[in-house]
């Protein structure tokens, strides 16, 4: 049987170097630089053979992270989590479920 796996990942990073002390750089003067983190990240997996289906998208701008991820759970529902994180509010997540849970009957193994 043919199994299709779709993987997509993209990372975009911007780094800005600026003097920390606000002074202009001089050739004989040491200036400390800092990087401002800024990126976008995304991936997706869709495998009909293993039923592994998941997705994530995240962005960061300075110290603020925002994202969403979803995954298909074994009971047939889809868990969707929207999240944010920053130094003032910490990590905050909003979790939702879509679909109806199916009762999973465990497989019985016969011993011979």
What is the tens place of the pLDDT at every residue in 6-19? 444 444 444 445 55
What is the tens place of the pLDDT at every residue in 60-75? 999 999 999 999 998 9
pLDDT at 23: 52
Alpha-carbon gap, residue 10 to 21, rounded angstroms: 34
Give exposure, 30-68, as e/b (b: 16+ Cβ within 10 Å). eeeeeeeeeeeebbebeeeeeeebebbebebeeeebebe
Alpha-carbon gap, residue 8 to 102, rounded angstroms: 29
């Amino acid at each position: 049987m043919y199994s299709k796996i779709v993987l997509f990942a993209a990372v975009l990073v911007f780094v800005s170097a600026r003097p920390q002390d606000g002074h202009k750089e001089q050739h004989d003067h040491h200036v400390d630089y800092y990087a401002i983190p800024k990126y976008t990240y995304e991936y997706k997996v869709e495998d009909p053979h293993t039923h592994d289906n998941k997705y994530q998208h995240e962005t960061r701008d300075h110290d603020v992270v925002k994202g969403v991820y979803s995954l298909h759970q074994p009971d047939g529902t889809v868990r969707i989590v929207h999240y944010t994180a920053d130094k003032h509010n910490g990590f905050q997540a909003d979790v939702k479920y879509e679909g109806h849970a199916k009762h999973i009957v465990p497989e019985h193994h016969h011993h011979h």
